[in-house]
Amino acid sequence: MINYAGSLDLVFQALADPSRRVMVERLSRGPASVSELARPLAMSLPAVLQHLHVLEASGIVTSEKVGRVRTCRIEPAALRTVEQWVSERRSSWEHRLDRLGDYLAEQPDEANYGREP
Amino acid sequence: MINYAGSLDLVFQALADPSRRVMVERLSRGPASVSELARPLAMSLPAVLQHLHVLEASGIVTSEKVGRVRTCRIEPAALRTVEQWVSERRSSWEHRLDRLGDYLAEQPDEANYGREP
DNA sequence: TGCATAGTTAATCATGTACTTAAGTGTATC
DNA sequence: GATACACTTAAGTACATGATTAACTATGCA
């Protein structure tokens, strides 16, 4: 059962770990097997598998097993939900700053530093 | 001492908690005091303060105390680093898919499903 | 001065996370 | 059929996280 939407909690949590980000970076260059993902990481294979589970639970990565090798790949939809959430908050803040700038520009120039409309 | 760059670890970790995201959403609409941030959250003030420390350590939020009230605001640079990291990985993957599509379009149409060049 | 307000610190506690090792399950290859 | 390969599961452990309550420190105001 895969979480295509990717709840923000799980997605941010998944990306908070540097090893998992290394895995995502590797996968952004193309699909990879579990052992390929493990190669650059200084940890046991079971540990890598646990990280993979976290990434799959978040919806960032999907995988399928053919024969004895499991091939993993990125699910861009999950990454898009993060991008969107972050960019909405940031641009909300930045547009607010613009509006505040406009407001202050219209006011007489006194003691406005740090004040809010 | 504030982390303006915002290490990816700390930033993703900070955003992984729903209460902290509520705080960021509130701040994206403008600066707020600690108790304003606390109002919609069902937890004690010390707990909110701990979340605020996490957000500040990540560089997402800054604050300054004037009189007895501490005013918090968003630091958009930290949010931009997240946006950038995620969008780079995603677009790397998506452009790779484009190139793969081009490659397959040039190949004879047989048993290419799921294969990599 | 006295008392409420806004925030802060410290100590504590229950879970959750990121590993580990040891042992087990299918697949390929000889 | 035997043996190696590529995971997979289970169990255990050390440390981090998210909350709590109790007690404390300014600041502002009547």
CATH number at residue B21: 1.10.10.10
Confidence class for position B102, pLDDT limits 50, 70, 90: low
Taking 60 as the threshold, does the pLDDT of residue B107 lie above it?
yes
Q: Does the pLDDT of residue B100 top 90, yes or no? A: no
Q: Is B47 inside any structural domain?
A: yes
Domain that holds residue B25: 8-77
Are residues A89 and B96, on separate chains, in Cβ contact within 8 Å?
no
Average pLDDT value for residue range A49-55? 98
Whether residue A91 is predicted with pLDDT greater than 50 in this model: the reply is: yes
Residue A99 has pLDDT above 80, yes or no: no
In a domain, A109, yes or no: no
Chosen from A7, A22, A24, A28 to mutate, greatest number of chain B CBs within 10 A: A28
Provide the 3-class DSSP secondary structure of residue A57.
Answer: helix
pLDDT above 50 for B115: no
pLDDT grade for A104, boundaries at 50, 70 and 90 = low
Contacts of A34 by beta carbon, 8 Å cutoff, 6+ apart: A45, A48, A49, A52, A69, A70, A72
- Average pLDDT in chain B: 86
Q: Is residue B65 part of a domain?
A: yes
Q: Quickly count: other Cβ atoms within 10 Å of residue A82's Cβ.
A: 25
**How many residues in total does chain B contain?**
117
pLDDT band at A115 (very low <50, low <70, confident <90, very high): very low
Distance from CA of A108 to the nearest CA of B (A): 22
Tell me whether residue A86 is in a domain. no
Answer whether residue A59 is part of any domain: yes
Question: Does position B105 have pLDDT exceeding 70, yes or no?
Answer: no
Rounded average pLDDT over B14-41: 97
Number of structural domains (chain B) is 1
- Asked if residue B94 belongs to a domain, the reply is no
Return d(Cα B112, Cα A108) in angstroms, integer. 69
CA of A93 to C1' of C3 (A): 38
User: Is B63 within 8 Å of B71 (Cβ atoms)?
Assistant: yes
Structural domain contains residue A28: yes
Classify residue B63: in a domain, yes or no.
yes
pLDDT at B73 over 90: yes
